[in-house]
Amino acid sequence: MCGRKTLSMSKRQIIEQLMVDEWQVEDYTPSYNIAPTQNSVVLVQERGYNIVRSMRWGLIPAWSKNELYGSKMINARIETVTAKPSFKNLIPKNRCIVLSDGYYEWKQSGGRKVPFFIQRKGGGLMFFAGLWTTWSMSSKRIFTYTILTTKAQKGISAIHDRMPVLFDKSKAEMWINLDNQFSEVERELTENKEVLNYYQVSDFVNKPNNNSVACIAPFKAPTKLNLFEDDQ
């Protein structure tokens, strides 16, 4: 799965790596610790234009009466997305790319969860396949999204058995181009050839309120001092 991620690049850095026609995010702030129900930026295509927009992570289906439902819908399994009522109707016209430059995953080890940071080899933007929708209640209108996940590739599977569906730039363009039928891009969803690096980080990232470069700092085990070593 994917339950925490980063987008630490500046607006200028993001635009330099994308074909962006419109940037509709007024209050963009780089983040080292984006958690579900928080807003982050996604790329959508409307009327042939590539638009960067802020959306809440955790898809709220249009039929839901409660916006808290979104906290249960942060990921969608690619194997079943065409069968789930909350997702299947979004595939033709509500595909998006979730922008990130890394994500966190926790590995079970000795009765505790150990956090790891995962990123593209060499760094840079990561393009996660996503679906988005608009949820309305009374006068409130919220844009929300979910991240598609697939079976983890070799290496990552040692940490967790799931991972986001990742695209390179050209395939990301194919995904959001709504002139492409889902059947034309479906194969690309399972052909994940992105080379990823990962390393252990500290428990500092476990708290969503912690948001600094310390979140992605490689973990260093504390030095053990032998206080009872005999004097020489």
96 is catalytic: no
Q: 96, 105, 188, 215: which one is catalytic?
A: 105
Q: Choosing from 2, 173, 188, 215, which is the catalytic residue?
A: 2
β-bridge pairing 166-167 and 102-109: unpaired
Minimal CA–CA distance to 117: which of 205, 207, 193?
Answer: 205
The tokens of 18 are what? Answer: 């994308």
Phi, psi of 31 (to 5 degrees): -140, 140
105 is catalytic: yes
Q: Return the active site residues.
A: 2, 105
